[in-house]
Chains A and B, each alone.
Chain A
Amino acid sequence: MSDKLYVARSSQIAARRLDDEMMIMSAVDSTLFTLNETATFIWEAADGSTSLEDIVTHKICSRFEVVESEALQDAEEMVRQLAGHGILLLSDEPLAAANPSRQVTP
């Protein structure tokens, strides 16, 4: 497992937070995804310049009683799934941030 995995939100999506869930629609195929509270923290922190490990340490482990190594493993699995659907971008180098104008805020 890489400890230098960078994640960024795709610009080909629309997203909106509703209650504790993040709702994300792909502009490629109109598929709707909903993220739970934990995944939403990762999504919101996916700026392309912060490593996944740092996100897990500062956004997840600081809020939830979890073992850091397990949380990182779960987070990596989650972001790879989302990347497979094209709504997150992954790289072993920092990425340019996604277009914030496509983020729809409540």
Chain B
Amino acid sequence: MLTIRNLHAGIEEIKILNGINLEIRPGEVHAIMGPNGSGKSTLASVLAGRENYEVTEGSVDFLGKDLLELSPEERAGEGLFLAFQYPVEIPGLSTTNFVKAAVNEIRKYRGQDPLDAVAFLKLMKEKMALMNIDQSLLSRSLNEGFSGGEKKRNEIFQMAMLQPKLAILDETDSGLDIDAIRIVANGVNKLKSKDNAVLVVTHYQRLLDYIIPDFVHVLYNGRIVKTGTKELAFELEEKGYDFIKSEVAEEVDR
């Protein structure tokens, strides 16, 4: 589904990603962990097409297309979704109107007719129930004055509405209490199928108690330095990132 080969990227003159290789297949859940500044959010941003990052080397293939050639909206149209670490507040634009525009623009991209009002409402009601979101929240301006938990739930609600093939969750657990994490994780799990995949980017292991990964990758200095199963996440939690740093240092020494 997603194949990243030797990806190098940075912002202005600063190199952040130094050769990422990653393969994600349908039905899989991958977690990317790593200390602050290791490049986790940069990877998420580059995949979603954020403007100020520059890719200097490497390739990303998404479902047979060169992802890096596509605009952010085309990536969404192809089935990529990024749950933001800091969802943007847009006063004056209701979540409902925003999601409606998104759903129908993606349908348009795929050559489908827009959903009529009844069908849209039905879909929305279904996903609202899934994410335990109230109508009143959706009538309000997008993310404006939302609590941290409400913002992240709203992200997963949007994911549920757009039904992406690959969802990237960028530090979705940051700033959330355990109840909020449970609701968010529950939503992600219910959306999982053999046809779609999830890439969880996180600093802490605790989200992975609820979204069980098939693979855990450790990112350090812009490279994946270790890959394992969910046990690796426990090990990191127990020993801290220092043990990775020292392992990497040893490798360099050898």
Q: Do A and B bind each other?
A: no
Binding site for B on A (CB under 8 A): none
Binding site for A on B (CB under 8 A): none
